[in-house]
Amino acid sequence: MKKFIVLFLVSSAFLTITIAQTSFKEITLEDVWKKYSFYPATVSGINSMNDGVNYTMLVGETGVVKYEYKSGEKVATIIDLNELKVSGVSNINEYVFSADETKLLFSTEVEPIYRHSFVASYYVFDIKTKELKAISDKGKQQLATFSHDGTKVAFVRENNMFIKDLNTNEEFAITNDGKFNEIINGALDWVYEEEFNDSEANFLKPFVWSPDGSKIAYYKFDESNVKQFNMTMYGTLYPEWYKFKYPKAGEANSVVSIHIYDINKKQTIKVDVGNEKDQYIPRIKWTANQSTLCVLRLNRLQNKLEMLYADANTGSSTVAYTEEDKYYVEVTHDNLTFINDGKTFITSSERDGYNHLYLYDVNGNLIRQITKGEWDVTKFYGYDEKNKLLYFESAEVSPIQRHVYSIDINGNNKIQLTQKSGKNEPYFSKSFKYFINVHSDANTPYMTTLNDSKGKQIREFEVNKYNTVLLEKMKEYGFAKKEFLTIKTENNITLNAWMIKPLNFDPAKKYPVFMYVYGGPGHQTVMDEFDYNSVWYQLLAQKGYIVVSVDTRGSGARGADFRKVTYGQLGKYETIDQIDAAKYLGTLPYVDKTRIGIQGWSYGGYMSTLCLSKGSDVFKMAIAVAPVTNWRFYDSVYTERYMGLPQNNADGYDDNSPINHVEKIKGKFLLVHGTADDNVHFQNSMELVDALVKANIQFDMQFYPNKNHSIYGGNTRLHLFTKMTSFVLENL
């Protein structure tokens, strides 16, 4: 799910405000969404080298460049893009080294499939000989991956798996039954890609090489019985349908199986994952024992997680670890780490009410809880086996901040490695000797430093110079400070919030309030970090609006009870809290309580629509972008995790569907959707429109042909935010 927002069009009512603020430059929508004038610089694509003292980055038009951590000095250019262009390769999308760092595998000519997946042309570059070799000339590939010895590359093409032997140049198939919309080998179906994976970290590997490179374990999805969803694609005389398998809540999922191919024997075995076919396999991973594959098994209701050990030679399996929860066990991370001693593993759990790290023996017996406290571990970065230290991120200081820590395997000597308030995002070297830290706070763009394993700063990165200039530019344009506050609701619930006040704020005046909402389980909009979308809020502040966002019950980093209270009735408590927060804001002496509006995208669009209906006496207007309008329309994995099956929870699905509350709407409503949204289908908005018409509720709508859930490309984002801005100015 997603979010977003923006502004333009000056009405006469706000012209005097703009004139009165001539001491600051005016932010325009073109600045925000065409020129991206306030977009910060940051480092990306960092890959640590095996030695732990050097790293590589993909640098603009240069190529892949190697640097020394400590000095920041350039060591070498690994791949020169100018040299590649001679071979007809114009750019590099993503790259990875072979285990011995003698070769580099990269993708180019990328074509998207869904939001996160793509096909591309993959190449292997020999660093010593400078030889460039295409993986295949038989069509674009997916997910190309080196074997551990670097002699082979496995990849997927047209739903089948292949292996390319780099020594013999032979390409051979290890599956042949792949078929579009029926059988997928070695890649993910739509719902696994969206709900069990991460677009940046790629937690879920649809195939994994064994440590010695002799075997490869892979997923097979049989989606034959999954119902097909059709999207109309415009642009031709007769619009075409794009057809794909999308399991909605309560409907049939793919039947998932795990297989292991033996390279030497050229044989495939099927792993025993149990007799139940209506289940999930959210992860597979080789253990420290290369003849044992770990398979995570999750039941359909997602409240029971089991860890299976499968014999790589026979496929037989045993259950080694089980975790159950009365609500759900969320597998949206990759914290499971097998220690090289072959005797223990590290994983995370909410068993004590907060997400923490635990040490188990390989038989699933708890040895100890490593981290403890009334705070959540929000990321696990890895285990330094040499020094027996774990590195992780947590919300211990505050739910709205993130800091980096180390702790020893015995749960002692916890050290906070980052000190600056805000959000810290580290990139560790393979030796854990260094980490590159990207820090920001709500009012300061990203500042990047190199730190040692104790957190001591060694140097700053060059990009900081750009962001320092950007910070001065923000002052020239009168960026107001984003302030944090807490709101106590009528139900005595304390909620975190932020507020941006108008330029030249006068506490004696009354201001309209524009609220931004997301609200999905575990998500937070109230974070002390730099958010480019806030530039639009600054534009609104220049127009005389107070902008506010509130994290309600169900949001993250406040423990399992606070997050899971929404189980089975998504939208109920979140809407109550947003309405209560708006009522509180209306009591402030500088707020005009008759002019409070709300906007959201995706889950936020669902929330803004509910708020306008259930809070019709509180909200004057609402904008919903790509909203879910009934959870029956959304995908099985996400929806059932938080709602259970619709067959067992009909009231939970229907009581908080905006479709069933439209008759309560009194304020102005703008509905926005992309017609090619493969995530939150255009169907959601069409069903809502049908209900609005039946109830004779007037509304505005804006649709974008062939645009997906993110609604971008060309002038699309600028056009969208121009529309939303004018709607705000005219109706709030």
Residue 31 designated active-site: no
The alpha carbon of residue 115 and the mean position of all alpha carbons in its chain are separated, in whole angstroms, by 11
Tell me phi and psi for residue 253, to 5 degrees: -95, 170
Which two tokens mark 229? Answer: 């969803």
Contacts 24+ apart (CB under 8 A), 167-174: 169/133, 171/136, 171/138, 174/216, 174/261, 174/268
The answer to whether the beta carbons of residues 22 and 402 sit under 8 Å apart is: no
Active site residue 709: yes
CB 625 within 8 A of CB 605: yes
Alpha-carbon distance of 206 to 198, in angstroms, equals 13
85's tokens = 């262009």
356, 403, 439, 709: the active-site residue: 709
Report yes or no: 501 and 538 within 8 Å, Cβ to Cβ: no
Angstrom CA distances, 423 to 420, 526, 527, 548, 655, stand at 8, 12, 8, 20, 37
Beta bridge partners, 704, equal 674
Check 349, 602, 636, 657 and give the catalytic one: 602
CB 587 within 8 A of CB 610: no
Q: Show contacts of 590-593: CB within 8 Å, 24+ apart.
A: 590/505, 590/506, 590/507, 590/508, 590/509, 590/510, 590/511, 590/546, 591/510, 591/511, 591/513, 591/546, 592/510, 592/511, 592/512, 592/513
Contacts of 236 (CB under 8 A, 6+ apart): none
Please tell me which residue in 384, 441, 528, 677 is annotated as part of the active site: 677
β-strand 668-674 against 621-625: which pairing, if any? parallel
**Which amino acid is located at 322 in the chain?**
T
For the chain, the residue count is: 732
Q: Which of 200, 223, 2 is nearest to 680 (CA)?
A: 2
CB proximity list for 366: less than 8 A, separation 6 or greater:
358, 359, 360
Answer yes or no: 523 catalytic.
no
Number of other residues whose CB lies within 10 A of the CB of residue 583: 17
Residue 103 tokens read as: 């070769």
Extract long-range pairs of 130-136: CB within 8 Å, 24+ residues apart: 130/83, 132/84, 132/87, 132/89, 133/166, 133/169, 135/164, 136/162, 136/164, 136/171
Active site amino acids: 602, 677, 709
